Amino acid sequence: MIPKDYAEFEVTLSGSQPPPDWPEGLKSLWFDAKGDWEASHDIAQDMHNQLGSWIHAYLHRKEGDRFNAGYWYRKAQRDFPEISLREELKNLVEFIIINANSNI
């Protein structure tokens, strides 16, 4: 079941794997929140849509690769954020939760 909010998402981080019925974007962010950048990136780079580009951008921003992040933010049609990485993670998770039934 998809979490109802970010706080519920955080509770799932005590597990060893994200729930299998979650959308790929949420799984990707779960791995990132657990500290597994590579697993998160592997999922995001296989998402060929704007959400995948946004997650990909966030991950490269987190990595410190501003140039590559900028490319992915442009593909996602988003401005380079001025917020913290933690805030962006929360925004991404909440975006997915809100749009879970719209096939993003």
Give per-residue pLDDT as tens, 4-52.
999 999 999 999 999 999 999 999 999 999 999 999 999 999 999 999 9
Query: CA 20, CA 74: separation in Å to the nearest integer?
Result: 30
Query: CA 65, CA 60: separation in Å to the nearest integer?
Result: 5
Confidence of residue 101 (pLDDT cuts 50, 70, 90): low
SS3 53: helix
Residue 25's closest CA among 83, 97, 73? 97
SS3 103: coil
Amino acid identity of residue 32, one-letter, is: D
Q: So what's the pLDDT on residue 52?
A: 97
Query: CA 20, CA 60: separation in Å to the nearest integer?
Result: 25
Full-model pTM? 0.93
* Average pLDDT of span 53-64: 97
* Average pLDDT of span 77-92: 97
Residue 51 makes CB contacts below 8 A (sequence gap 6+) with: 25, 76, 95, 96, 104
Q: Is the pLDDT of residue 104 over 60?
A: no
Confidence of residue 100 (pLDDT cuts 50, 70, 90): confident
